[in-house]
Structure 1
Amino acid sequence: MDSLLALMTDPTAWAALVTLIVMEIVLGIDNLIFISILSNKLPEAQRARTQRIGLMLALVMRLGLLGTVAWIAQLTAPAFTLFAHAFSWRDLILLVGGLFLVWKATSEIRHHVTHSDDVSDNASSTVQLTVAAAIGQIIVLDIVFSVDSIITAVGMTEHMPIMFIAVIVAVMVMLFAALPLSRFIDRNPTIVMLALSFLLVIGMTLIADGFGTHVPKAYIYAAMAFSAFVEGMNMLVRKAKAKSDRAVSGGK
């Protein structure tokens, strides 16, 4: 109890908490985009429940991993050497997760491109996944992102209460943002392609990280933010053009 009170009155601890919460939310964006795209392939009545289950599983995994910090720290130690490169278990997890994300994003992009002109197929393409299959795929990515998230948290602070609070707050923010993000993506088809491109980049980044080539996440998220800004401008232009066309047709 005394240690908790000391943390509550320590400005450094509060700064670490705020920084870690922001970092966890940023790292959780990848997970949130994947869950939103995947849940949009389900019947509308099942989407919100699937998102909640996926994010609650992410929370349980993160909290569970926090309880095994000593084991998590060992994941970064070299486990074996292949082609003169030392791989840790974390590297393998990132490689598997990256390959899965690249495969999933590529297959979804291919599906959207090959069915972009088929209206009848698009009408039925949202219902091509069961809840169990969706949750299964979410769990795979939850494991990858949870390990990366906890290793980041361990590297930023040594205080367990700060880690627990940051993880809980970050997942709660994701929980509230999941449904609005899912609806926004569903209403804007071009956003779907942009989000899938983000997942493809994230997957390649995980693979590079698994091979020991660290790509600063700030560069990735800056590029994603710029792409989202450009797409936002395009959406405004399309909306203005559609409004102008309606006004012209109405005048006639």
Structure 2
Amino acid sequence: MRKHATAVIDAPAGAGTAAIALRGVTKVYGRGDEAVHALRGVDLAIRPGSFTAVMGPSGSGKSTFLHCAAGLDRPTGGQVFLAGTDIAGLSETKLTELRRTRVGFVFQAFNLVGSLTAEQNVTLPLRLAGTRPDKKWVREVLGRVGLAQRAGHRPAQLSGGQQQRVAIARALVTRPDVLFADEPTGALDTKTGREVLGLLREVVDTFGHTVVMVTHDPVAASYADRVLFLADGRLVDTLENPSAEAVADRMIHMEG
């Protein structure tokens, strides 16, 4: 069991040294009395080659944080840097290009195309971007996620865990700066979920990728290097080298 310790919430490092940096990020939905402040001045930096979990009570801003950090939504105010690029100021065309080439996504729903094989699902982002897949790299990515022998299988021929592995391979095939995962084990049983979490851990430790995962599960969060806690749109705490017990205790105090 890894030891855990609380840590001071760090202000953003230089944009060029962080995989992701948020500076004074706010997100407001609606106007006037109907306005909902989903994010309230979030400042943080995530170092390259790290595994970060994001947690908080329902309505704390977790999903909004992920969407803004990944370029899926634009903040109302502040700056979002991805590997030194201020993505908040990009045009829609440039933002779409960035998401296709520098950001990987894994969601609770596997979002695989049923008529395509595992390999074809993995190469889909490349083909959509008009890029010819590097067959050697595709085989390597499938091997990394343990599906070298399942490349020709369609989703219906794969287990839930194997389908999520295909989704992870699809997210990695563009060699992204950051892989964002939104409740990636939510549709899986406990054993399969832990296998997928172990794979995400390996993606960081062995291959040096940066992973940011939104989760409500303390066990899932314990696979991360650091947990960020959001409440009412604010970053209120962090936990380094977390254990499931420490994460659960922190959440109980936040919701109490």
TM-score normalised by L of structure 1: 0.25
Structure ID, larger Rg? 1
Q: Which one scores higher on RCO, CA 8 angstroms, separation ≥ 6?
A: 1
TM-score normalised by L of structure 2: 0.25
More strand by share: 2
